[in-house]
Amino acid sequence: MSAHASHAPAPNRSGLWDWLTTVDHKKIAILYLIAGGIFFLAGGFEAMLIRLQLMYPESSVIGAKTFNEMITMHGTTMIFLAAMPVIFALMNAVVPLQIGARDVAFPFVNSLGFWLFFFGGVLLNTSWFLGGAPDAGWTSYTTLALNQYSGRGVDFYVLGLQIAGIGTLIGGINFLVTIINMRAPGMTFMRMPMFTWSAFITSGLILFAFPAITVGLVLLMFDRLFGGNFFNPDAGGNVVIWEHLFWIFGHPEVYILILPAFGVISEIVSTFARKRLFGYSSMVFATALIGFLGFMVWAHHMFTTGLGAIANTLFGLATMLIAVPTGIKIFNWLLTMWGGQIRFTTANLFAVGFIPTFTIGGMTGVMLAIPAADYQYHDSYFVVAHFHYVIVGGLVFGLFAGLYYWWPKMFGKMLNETLGKWNFWTFFIGFHLTFFPQHFLGLMGMPRRVFTYLKDQDLDVGNFISTIGAFGMTIGTILFLVNCAVAAKSSKRAPADPWDGRTLEWSIPSPPPEYNFAQTPLVRGLDALWIEKMAGNKGMTPAEPLGDIHMPSPSFLPFLMSLGLFIAGYGFMYHVYVVVAIGMLITFACMFARSIKDDPGYHIHEDEIEEKGVKA
Amino acid sequence: MATHQANAVLPDEPEKATLEGKNKVLGFWLFLGGETVLFGSLFATFIALRDQANGGPTSQQLFDMPLVAAATLILLTSSMTSVMATLALHKKDLKKIQLWLTITVLLGLGFLALEIYEFVHYVHEGHKISTSAFGSAFYTLVGFHGGHVAFGIIWIILLQVSAVKKGLTVVTAPKFYLASLYWHFIDVVWVFIFTVVYLMGMIGGKVG
């Protein structure tokens, strides 16, 4: 490759400009983490206001209107702007390293995906200052979400999520191609680490799920902004179409969220038990099966819509089937730990805490899958408790575990273990205090999305405990932030392999050089690094001689392209078509420039690689 | 331009000769998979709403076979000419590629002109996006397709113009190849639109 490419000098990059133009997957991972983290704090703040409002009966801390905005923005922010980007942060930081690649397949697209998500999220959140946030719930059901019943906020929801959604979609395609085409020699599919497998299947789900929400949002946009009648029953429209499109996306989405967490837990449980993952091939099979079944069950969110007994039965049965591959995973994690030399680091505490918590969430999921019973649970706090057990107790525990585990690889610094353990226990206890009582609140009849309740209906104590628990989670989150700050200030460098790891990312320095691997490694089996360790080798066997490394150039275009759509979004909302034209012009001009101007990239020379102290 | 001198001898299947090219081809196939879900959702919505004319014109009153048949003929022919361009790509014959793509673009423009004429005509008949759920679903589905055609035309012209300077290389070959794949995809979508929207809309009345 180097034979014919021109030698542009390595670009000069510094400070902010570097971050705005980077196409390095490791830096994009950090961008995703910071942006996702900020949105996580915003969503958490909204959650605290919700809990304060519900702490006592008949309270008026924020009032009904603001409460509706809070629940809508809490759900939307946490799912689309916090959970998804932090997952993408881990995928970007880890997947290329685990498969022995120098970069992702499309570094430019990777950066574009981030900036689209970022600007979409910012657009959505500017609604707070421009006439009120969306207030039709995170599912934005029509007709409630139509103009007659909801304010301008829903326009922000529609356009913000469309922009962010395109970013997620192209991010998914990027990881699919990366994993299929960029694996190091010897890294067959059945030798891929479990986290990479889960990233692969999650990306597949993104590819086939996100277009459905895109269409749903386009239809809603037409109805709200251009006089369409998709969801207007007076003109022949049908509100159930929105429910279908939303959940055809929405149910795969929850597996998009949880599968990477499964991957993280698999890596951590295995590393800290010093054992190979029990039942690796059944884990791969179970992950694929969950991904497949995830598309077959969307209507279990619609049991009370009135689709009929046959549809409800089939979707109920398909939903229960998912318990089988999930159960396989739970037993495999337990059997991985069985007889292992377990180290309870913070990462492993989160992983071990995940298992029973997620199992409880899965169990209430099977309860909800029974259509007849669901008529009782539907729209009650039982549902709220269920999905917080799987999303917080599952995904967020998994993300914390993953962050404690890969932090040294991402930043070159170790997080403090003592603070980490405080973080775990406050968050873990706070979580269960918050959500366990909600099961019973729901069974006693407390509906979701209602801003207050009367006193002396047996709902007071449960709600009070729930709010106290939310403070525990807040303290846990603050301790995590303190831990990040302490790590950033510390001058102690993390070693390349702090946990006695098993996979390729631990065979290179922390943080890795921009080209990741000086020489592409040769993979000789599952747990590639562990095999070399057991064979008494000092590191991976290289699969190629040391040579010049070709790198893609940084680019400001992804930022500008996303900015263009961001500007156009406001034009659509306020019907100012000059602004739409300006925004789209920026975006299309950038696409034009990208198409005609080839990126020759630049080279890192062989001697430079050796100078940087990477062993040959 | 020194970059491309070394490519004077192009390898076979130049679109997949480099890792970048292979990535692009695979990524584009996956993208088309996502596009399939996109159009699938639009089709499903259309089928659910196609009889909801809300007192406005119905599909039986509106659709006109000769016009749609002409549009179909034009677009399917353009699909063939884009295959000819890909064949020329495999023979590494830039002149032929340019020739076939020019014909493809002209046919695409013809199709778009017919579609715009058709839409204007329908609006005069009182069939608008705001008339009925049928109107909304019709313009969204057919318009999404038309938008794809327009994007494809601009893209292909852009590639043609830049290839005059750049020539046929392992960098430009994947772009031609992808544009051709894209063009096929939107033709296939049209086959479904022709069947589901127009043919099913012209025969029979309400189902059920």
Note the pLDDT tens digit of each residue in B154-190: 999 999 999 999 999 999 999 999 999 999 999 999 9
Low-confidence ranges of chain A (pLDDT < 50): 1-7, 614-616
What does residue A216 show for φ and ψ, rounded to 5 degrees?
-55, -45
Residues 6+ apart with CB under 8 A from A356: none
DSSP one-letter string for A154-193: HHHHHHHHHHHHHHHHHHHHHHHHHHHH-PPTT--GGGS-
- pLDDT of the residue at A13: 67
- Which residues of B are less than 8 Å from A174 in CB distance? 27
Helix (H, G, I), strand (E, B) or coil at B149: helix
**Chain A contact for B156, CB < 8 A?**
no
**Chain B contact for A176, CB < 8 A?**
yes
Shortest CA distance from B20: residue in chain A: A105
**Chain B contact for A222, CB < 8 A?**
yes
**Chain A contact for B6, CB < 8 A?**
yes
Interface TM-score (ipTM) > 0.90: yes
Inter-chain residue contact A173 with B140, CB threshold 8 Å: no
Q: Which of A539, A407, A505, A411 is nearest to A196 (CA)?
A: A505
Smallest Cβ distance to A235: which of B23, B27, B54? B54
Smallest Cβ distance to B38: which of A214, A235, A238? A214
Inter-chain residue contact A211 with B45, CB threshold 8 Å: no
pLDDT in tens, A490-500: 999 999 999 99
Smallest Cβ distance to A4: which of B3, B33, B54? B3
Residues 6+ apart with CB under 8 A from A441: A380, A381, A382, A385, A459, A462, A463, A466
For chain A, positions 238-267, list CB contacts with chain B under 8 A.
238, 241, 244-245, 248
Smallest Cβ distance to A229: which of B4, B130, B159? B130
Shortest CA distance from B4: residue in chain A: A4
**Chain A contact for B26, CB < 8 A?**
yes
**Chain A contact for B11, CB < 8 A?**
no
What does residue A451 show for φ and ψ, rounded to 5 degrees?
-80, -15
Inter-chain residue contact A215 with B38, CB threshold 8 Å: yes
**Chain B contact for A179, CB < 8 A?**
no
Interface test with B, best of A177, A207, A584 (most B CBs within 10 A): A177
Q: How far is CA A177 from CA A101, A599, B172, in A?
A: 12, 20, 20
Cα(A354)–Cα(A347) distance, integer angstroms: 11
Cα(A280)–Cα(A276) distance, integer angstroms: 8
- pLDDT of the residue at A342: 96
- For residue A208, the distance in angstroms to the closest alpha carbon of chain B comes to 5
Smallest Cβ distance to B162: which of A176, A210, A596? A596
User: pTM here?
Assistant: 0.95
- Number of Cβ within 10 Å of residue A465's Cβ equals 17
- pLDDT of the residue at B205: 56
Inter-chain residue contact A212 with B41, CB threshold 8 Å: yes
Inter-chain residue contact A207 with B54, CB threshold 8 Å: no
The answer to whether residues A459 and A57 touch, using CB atoms and an 8 Å cutoff, is yes
